[in-house]
Amino acid sequence: MPIWIDTHCHLDALEFAPDRDAVRAQARAQGVHHLVIPAVELAHAEAVRQLAHRYGDSYALGIHPLYTPQAGDGDVAALGRLLEQYRSDPHLVAVGEIGLDYFVPGLDAARQEQFYRAQLQLARRFDLPVILHVRRSADRLLKGLREIPVQGGIAHAFNGSLQQAQAFIALGFKLGFGGALTYERALQLRRLALELPLEALVLETDAPDMPPHWLYRTAQERAQGQPQGRNAPAQLPRIAAVLAGLRQLPLDTLAQAHCANTGAALPRLAAALAFRAVF
């Protein structure tokens, strides 16, 4: 069975509270041996750290753009203190999830930018890659990265243009593909998955969010009593099979490339896994 890494899974989410141990066990049974669990706000930092240690996974610490309205003005400084406190923890692999979101209405763009740039500075200070939230914001994110260079990382749930993808790659980033790729109507995203070099791609679920098509229920279906399927890290191999089919690759070949790409994007994760002889 191929070995997989879910490069973006919110295992700390409330949706997993009733059966978190079972969710993690099911993922492992499907070959998903490692998760990257990014925080979305300061209040989640301890939870993601504890989960990573509990299951032998990795975590990232950051303030998500959707959480900037409730974030305190001192939260970036507090995040810096946490990164200092845990800088020798091999489970800590990135600053994230950070970024910009110009899709959700009502968010203060200037405040998002303030938090984004401040967290890029923290990534530079602690020599960590970043996990980026990219939603209708690729060009502004790239501008920030050119002005405050970091060691790279992952552009999570990427859905920009080929030119934007190439710009992220040139700055040392891998691009995350997940459940959105499984929809036949996602023509631009599927074209990107074919045109980009294999060494630029990593796989993710964004669980419990971003369900693949086989879990998705329309509004009408939900109104008729069909529950929305909960995305989970155990779905990653099936998502990977879609990408392998599009690229006409053996699944083992994709798995090996994905693990190598993840290690290149998150060097501390690669070092930890090599030490545990997972690769």
| Binding residue numbers | 8, 10, 97, 133, 156, 206
Q: How many CB atoms lie within 10 A of CB 108?
A: 12
d(CA 30, CA 41): 30
Question: Which residues have CB under 8 Å from 77's CB, separation 6+?
Answer: none
d(CA 279, CA 277): 6
Radius of gyration for the alpha carbons in the chain, expressed in angstroms and rounded = 18
Q: What pairs with residue 5 in β-bridges?
A: 34
> Which residues are annotated as part of the binding site for a divalent metal cation?
8, 10, 97, 133, 156, 206
DSSP 8-state symbol, 136: S
Strands (E) located in the chain: 4-6, 32-38, 58-61, 92-101, 130-135, 153-156, 173-177, 201-203
Residue type, 192: L
CB of 39 within 8 A of CB of 61? yes
